[in-house]
Amino acid sequence: MEYKTFPLIQESLSTVGFGSWGISGGEYWQDANDQDSLNAIAKAIELGVNFFDVAPVYGFGHAESLLGQAFQGKRDQVFIATKCGLTWDDQRHVVNNLTRQSIFTEIDQSLARLKTDYVDLYQLHWPDPNTDLEETMTALAELKETGKIRHIGLTNFSLADLKRAHSITPVSSYQGLYNLLEHDPSYYHAIPLDYRSQSEILPYVVEQGMMFLPYSPLMQGLLTDHFTMDGVNARDVRHENPKLQGENLVLFTNIAEQLRAVARELNKPMSQVAINWLIAQTGVGPIICGGLEPEHVTLNAQASDWQLSENHIEKINAILKPFKDQQVV
C-alpha cells in the first residue's frame, strides 16, 4: 500500500481508503450483510488501508456501529473520518441540521457507536441553509479544543462556503463527487451540486494544503469490468441515480467501454485503472472505495501497487476529451 501526507494533515494516509456507505446493510445495498462487511473491514486493515470514511446516516447508525465493532484493539491502526449534519427522526425522515446543539449531540452519538473517544476527521456532510456557517464552524472549533475531533472537513459545499469556512477555522479536507466519468458533475443522483470538483475545488484545495477526498470513484460500479443494472433490485440506491438509467446509462456505458480497452491493454481491472487515475491527480487523498466483501477490498487495494504511465493517462484523456468538451463528464 502507498501512502500520502498533506500540509494540513501530517499523517501517512493510504492512497486507497474504505468507504462505508456500502456497509449500511442490505436494506440499502443489494447483497450487503454484516459478516461480509466485518470481514471486508478486517481485510482492508490487513492490506494496509488506514483511512475509513463513514457517516451517521449510513444505515442510520449501522455503518458506524460495524466500524466500532471492527476497530476494537486496532484504534491506533486507523484514521476515522465521520460526518455530521444529516439527522433523522423516528420515521427516518432526514433533515439538514448544522446547529451547534445538533453537532454536539451528533459527535457524542458517533463516538459511542464507533467505540472511541475521538475521531480523526469530522466532516460537514451537506450544507444547512438554515444555519449560519459561523455558528457551525465555531462549534467545530470548540469540539477540536476538547479533543473529540482532530481535523475538520467539508463535503459537498460550494467553493465560496469552503473559503468562508476556512477563514473562520482551519479546514483540512474537502470531499466531493469525482471520478473518471464525473469531473465536474452538476448533480449527484437528483441532488444539485453547488461546486465543480476538478475546475473549482481541486485548485483551491491544493493552494491551501488541504486534501481532496473523491467519493463514488467507480461511479457506483459502472467503472468495473462487468456492470449491468439488470438484476439490481428496486431497493438498491443505484436506482436513484439518473445517470444509470435510460439514455444516460447507454451514453456512460459506451464511454466506459472505451476506457475498458485501455484496461485490457494494461491487463488490469477497470476498477484499478479508475482508482489509479484518481491517485495520480494532484491534491487527491485517499480514494473512498466501497467494498462489500474481502475480495472487493483486495482488488481495490491492489490499485496502489502500480501506476498509470503518462502515455496511458494521455490515452484516457483523449477518450474523455470529446465528452468533456460537451460537458458530459
The CA-atom distances, in angstroms, between 22 and each of 92, 113, 261 are 18, 17, 28
Q: Are 8 and 150 in contact (CB under 8 A)?
A: no
Query: Coil, strand, or helix at residue 255?
Result: helix
Q: Is 204 a catalytic residue?
A: no
Query: Is the CB of residue 186 less than 8 Å from the CB of residue 192?
Result: yes
Instruction: Return the residue matching grid coordinates 443522483.
Output: 189
Give dist(CA 222, CA 115) in Å, integer.
35
Identify which of 51, 4, 6 has the alpha carbon closest to the alpha carbon of residue 291: 51
Q: Cβ(202)–Cβ(174) under 8 Å?
A: no
User: Is 6 strand, coil or helix?
Assistant: strand
Do β-strands 51-53 and 16-19 pair in parallel, antiparallel, or remain unpaired? parallel
Cα distance from N-terminal residue to C-terminal residue, the chain: 29
DSSP 240: G
Quote the CA–CA distance of 67 and 285 in Å, as a whole number.
21
Cβ neighbour number for residue 279 with a 10 Å cutoff: 21
Closest by CA position to 206, among listed 7, 4, 3, 2: 7
Q: Give me the catalytic one of 58, 122, 178, 215.
A: 58
Report CA-CA distances (Å) from 108 to 88, 89, 102, 134, 248. 16, 17, 10, 21, 42
Active-site residues, by number, are 58
